Structure 1
Amino acid sequence: MFDSLIRYSLSNRGFVPLLLLGLVGSGLFSLARLPIDAVPDITNTQVMAMTSAPALGPEEVEQFITIPVENAMNGIPRIKEVRSFSQFGISGVTIVFEDGTDIYWARQQVGERLDQARTSIPQEFGQPEMGPIATGLGEVFQFQLRNAEGSPNPRSLMELRTILDWEVARRLKSVPGVVEVNALGGELKTYEVELDPNRLLARGIALNQVYEAIRRNNLNAGGGYIQRNGELRVIRGVGLIDSLKDLEEVVLATTGGGTPIYVRDVGTVRFAPMLRHGAATRDGRGEAVTAIVYLLAGENGRVVVDRIKRKVEEIQCELPEGVVIDAYYDRSVFIEKTIGTVARNLAEGGVLVVAVLLILLGDLRAGLIVALAIPLSMLFAGNLMLAFGIAGSLMSLGAIDFGLIVDSAVIVIENCVRHLAHADPRRRARDVIRRATLEVRRPVVFGVAIITMVHLPILALQGVEGKMFRPMALTVIFALTGSLLLSLTATPVLASYFLRPGTAKRDTALVRWAKRAYEPVLRRALRRPVAVALAAVVGFAACIPVALGLGGEFIPQLDEGDLIIAQTRPASASLNEGIADATRLERALRDAFPDEVRAVISRIGRPEIGLEAAGVNLTDTWVLVNEPGAWTRVRSKDELIDAIDATCKRVIPGTSYSFSQPIELRINEMLSGVRADLGIGIFGEDFDVLQQKADAIAAVLRAIPGSTGVKAQALGGLPFLRIEVDRDRISRHGIDAADVLDAVAALGGKMVGQVVEGQRRFALQVRFGAQYRNDIETIRTLKIADPQGRMIPLEDLAEIRLEDDTYEIWRKDRRRRITVQANVRGRDLAGFVAEAQRWVAAEVPLPRGYTLEWVGTFENLQSATRHLRLVVPLAQALIFLLLYSTFHSIRLGALIFLSVPLGAIGGVLALWVRGLSFSISAGVGFIALSGVAVLDGLVLIAAIRHLTEEGVAVLEAVHDASMMRLRPILMTGLVASLGFVPMAFSRGPGAEVQRPLATVVIGGLITSMLLKLVVLPAIYPWFDPGPPAP
Structure 2
Amino acid sequence: MIERLIDFSIRNRALVILGVLLVGALGLRAAQELPMDAVPDVTNVQVQILTTAPALGPLEVEQFITFPVETVMSGLPHLEEVRSVSKFGLSSVTIVFEEGTDIYFARQLVAERLADARQAVPKGYGNPTMGPISTGLGEIYQFTVQGDPMCAAGEPDEEGCYTPMELRTVLDWYIAYQLRSVPGVVEVNTFGGELKTYEVQLDPARLTALDIPLGDVFEAIERNNASAGGAYIQQSGEQLLIRGEGLIGNLDDIRRIVVSNRHEGTPITINEVADVANAPMVRQGAATHQGRGETVIGIAMMLMGANAREVSRDVGTKLDEIRPTLPEGVTIEAFYDRTDLVDRTIRTVATNLIEGGVLVVVVLLLLLGNVRGGLLVASVIPLSMLGAFIAMRLAGLSGNLMSLGAIDFGLIVDGSVVIVENVVRVLSERRANGGMVRSAVREAAIEVGRPIAFAVAIIILVYVPVLSLRGVEGKMFQPMALTVVFALAASLVLALTWVPALCTFVFKDGVVEHETSLLRRIRAWYAPRLERSLARPKRTLALAVGLFALSIGVVPFLGAEFVPTLEEGAIAMHAIRLPSVSLEESVQATTRLERVLLERFPDEIEKIVSKTGRPEVATDPMGVELSDVIMMLRPASEWSAATTKEGLIEAIQRTLGDEVPGQRFSFSQPIEMRMNELISGVRSDVAVSIYGENLQALKQAGDDLVKILRGVPGAADVKAEQSAGLPVLRVQINRDAIARYGIDASDVLDAVATMGGRKVGEVFEGQRRFALQVRYREDARSTLEAIRQIPIGAPTGALIPLGQLADLSVEEGPAQISRDRIQRRLTVEANVRGRDLGSFVSEAQTGVQEANVLPASYFLEWGGQFKNLQEATERLIVAVPVA
| Same structural fold, with TM-score higher than 0.5 when normalized by the shorter chain | yes
Decide whether aligned partners of structure 1 residues 8 and 527 sit closer, same or farther in structure 2, where only a CA change above 3 A counts.
closer
The secondary structure found in structure 1 opposite 2:218 is: helix
Counterpart in 2 of 1:311? 318
Distance in 2 separating the partners of 1:845 and 1:716? 19
Residue 21 of structure 1 aligns to which amino acid in structure 2?
L
Can you give the 5+ residue segments of structure 2 that lack an aligned partner in the other structure?
A: 152-158
The secondary structure found in structure 2 opposite 1:326 is: strand
Distance in 2 separating the partners of 1:364 and 1:764? 80
Kept in 1: contact 2:131–2:617 (CA 8 A):
no
1:341 has 2:348 as partner: yes
Distance in 1 separating the partners of 2:266 and 2:544? 107
Residue 130 of structure 2 aligns to which amino acid in structure 1?
M
Counterpart in 2 of 1:600? 608
CA shift digits 1:870-925 (9 cap, x unpaired): 223333xxxxxxxxxxxxxxxxxxxxxxxxxxxxxxxxxxxxxxxxxxxxxxxxxx
Distance in 2 separating the partners of 1:30 and 1:751? 53
Can you give the 5+ residue segments of structure 1 that lack an aligned partner in the other structure?
A: 876-1030
The secondary structure found in structure 2 opposite 1:717 is: strand
Residue 274 of structure 1 aligns to which amino acid in structure 2?
M
Kept in 1: contact 2:431–2:512 (CA 8 A):
no
Kept in 2: contact 1:275–1:608 (CA 8 A):
no
Counterpart in 1 of 2:156? none
CA shift digits 1:798-845 (9 cap, x unpaired): 010111112211110101111111111111111111111111011034
The secondary structure found in structure 1 opposite 2:249 is: coil
Tell me how far 1:223 sits from its aligned partner: 2.1
Higher alpha-carbon deviation: 365-374 or 120-129? 120-129
Counterpart in 2 of 1:2? 2
Distance in 1 separating the partners of 2:270 and 2:615? 30
Tell me how far 1:12 sits from its aligned partner: 2.5
1:792 has 2:800 as partner: yes
Distance in 2 separating the partners of 1:507 and 1:148? 74
Match of 1:393 among 386, 389, 400: 400
Residue 483 of structure 2 aligns to which amino acid in structure 1?
T
Structure number with greater Rg is 1
Residue 180 of structure 1 aligns to which amino acid in structure 2?
E
1:569 has 2:567 as partner: no
Tell me how far 1:456 sits from its aligned partner: 2.1
Decide whether aligned partners of structure 1 residues 471 and 256 sit closer, same or farther in structure 2, where only a CA change above 3 A counts.
closer
Distance in 1 separating the partners of 2:478 and 2:486? 12
Counterpart in 2 of 1:130? 130
Tell me how far 1:584 sits from its aligned partner: 0.4
Counterpart in 2 of 1:619? 627
Counterpart in 1 of 2:205? 198
Counterpart in 2 of 1:1001? none
Counterpart in 2 of 1:209? 216
The secondary structure found in structure 1 opposite 2:336 is: strand
Counterpart in 2 of 1:948? none
CA shift digits 1:989-1010 (9 cap, x unpaired): xxxxxxxxxxxxxxxxxxxxxx
TM-score by length of 1: 0.83
Counterpart in 1 of 2:588? 580
Match of 1:769 among 765, 777, 785: 777
Kept in 1: contact 2:189–2:617 (CA 8 A):
no
1:836 has 2:844 as partner: yes
The secondary structure found in structure 1 opposite 2:527 is: helix
CA shift digits 1:922-973 (9 cap, x unpaired): xxxxxxxxxxxxxxxxxxxxxxxxxxxxxxxxxxxxxxxxxxxxxxxxxxxx
Counterpart in 2 of 1:1019? none
Counterpart in 1 of 2:428? 421
Tell me how far 1:390 sits from its aligned partner: 1.6
Equivalent runs, 1:415-564 vs 2, <5 Å: 415-425=422-432, 428-499=436-507, 503-564=511-572
Match of 1:273 among 269, 273, 280: 280
Kept in 1: contact 2:593–2:660 (CA 8 A):
yes
Tell me how far 1:255 sits from its aligned partner: 5.5
Higher alpha-carbon deviation: 499-508 or 848-857? 499-508
Counterpart in 2 of 1:252? 259
Counterpart in 2 of 1:710? 718
Counterpart in 2 of 1:959? none
More strand by share: 2
Equivalent runs, 1:27-66 vs 2, <5 Å: 27-66=27-66
Equivalent runs, 1:963-978 vs 2, <5 Å: none
The secondary structure found in structure 2 opposite 1:99 is: coil
Kept in 2: contact 1:62–1:91 (CA 8 A):
yes
Counterpart in 2 of 1:77? 77
Match of 2:358 among 339, 351, 355: 351
Decide whether aligned partners of structure 1 residues 242 and 468 sit closer, same or farther in structure 2, where only a CA change above 3 A counts.
same
Higher alpha-carbon deviation: 841-850 or 143-152? 143-152
Alignment: residue pair count: 875
Kept in 2: contact 1:397–1:475 (CA 8 A):
yes
Tell me how far 1:63 sits from its aligned partner: 1.7
The secondary structure found in structure 2 opposite 1:14 is: helix
The secondary structure found in structure 2 opposite 1:125 is: coil
Distance in 1 separating the partners of 2:67 and 2:260? 45
Higher alpha-carbon deviation: 363-372 or 306-315? 306-315
Counterpart in 2 of 1:1002? none
Distance in 1 separating the partners of 2:432 and 2:617? 84
Distance in 2 separating the partners of 1:655 and 1:426? 81
The secondary structure found in structure 1 opposite 2:325 is: coil
CA shift digits 1:219-272 (9 cap, x unpaired): 112222222332222222111111111111111223634332221222211111
Distance in 2 separating the partners of 1:473 and 1:714? 41
TM-score by length of 2: 0.96
Equivalent runs, 1:622-641 vs 2, <5 Å: 622-641=630-649
Tell me how far 1:318 sits from its aligned partner: 1.8
1:175 has 2:177 as partner: no
CA shift digits 1:131-179 (9 cap, x unpaired): 1113111110000011245686021111100000000112211222111
The secondary structure found in structure 1 opposite 2:603 is: coil
Tell me how far 1:28 sits from its aligned partner: 1.1
Decide whether aligned partners of structure 1 residues 153 and 736 sit closer, same or farther in structure 2, where only a CA change above 3 A counts.
same
Identity %: 51
Counterpart in 2 of 1:891? none
Residue 189 of structure 1 aligns to which amino acid in structure 2?
K
Kept in 2: contact 1:48–1:95 (CA 8 A):
yes
Counterpart in 1 of 2:764? 756
Residue 499 of structure 2 aligns to which amino acid in structure 1?
T
Kept in 1: contact 2:74–2:82 (CA 8 A):
no
Decide whether aligned partners of structure 1 residues 498 and 426 sit closer, same or farther in structure 2, where only a CA change above 3 A counts.
closer
Distance in 1 separating the partners of 2:881 and 2:525? 37
CA shift digits 1:104-141 (9 cap, x unpaired): 11111111122222222221212212111131111100
Distance in 1 separating the partners of 2:808 and 2:251? 35
Distance in 2 separating the partners of 1:360 and 1:552? 38
Decide whether aligned partners of structure 1 residues 777 and 517 sit closer, same or farther in structure 2, where only a CA change above 3 A counts.
same
CA RMSD of aligned residues (A): 1.8
Match of 1:261 among 261, 268, 276: 268
Decide whether aligned partners of structure 1 residues 537 and 777 sit closer, same or farther in structure 2, where only a CA change above 3 A counts.
same
Distance in 1 separating the partners of 2:617 and 2:773? 15
Match of 1:690 among 693, 698, 708: 698
1:813 has 2:854 as partner: no
CA shift digits 1:972-1021 (9 cap, x unpaired): xxxxxxxxxxxxxxxxxxxxxxxxxxxxxxxxxxxxxxxxxxxxxxxxxx
Equivalent runs, 1:844-855 vs 2, <5 Å: 844-855=852-863
Counterpart in 1 of 2:683? 675
1:363 has 2:361 as partner: no
Tell me how far 1:852 sits from its aligned partner: 0.6
Kept in 2: contact 1:421–1:505 (CA 8 A):
yes
Distance in 1 separating the partners of 2:854 and 2:749? 42
The secondary structure found in structure 1 opposite 2:751 is: helix
The secondary structure found in structure 2 opposite 1:862 is: helix
1:822 has 2:823 as partner: no
Residue 645 of structure 2 aligns to which amino acid in structure 1?
K
Counterpart in 1 of 2:108? 108
The secondary structure found in structure 2 opposite 1:572 is: coil
Residue 321 of structure 1 aligns to which amino acid in structure 2?
E
Counterpart in 2 of 1:869? 877
Distance in 1 separating the partners of 2:695 and 2:17? 74
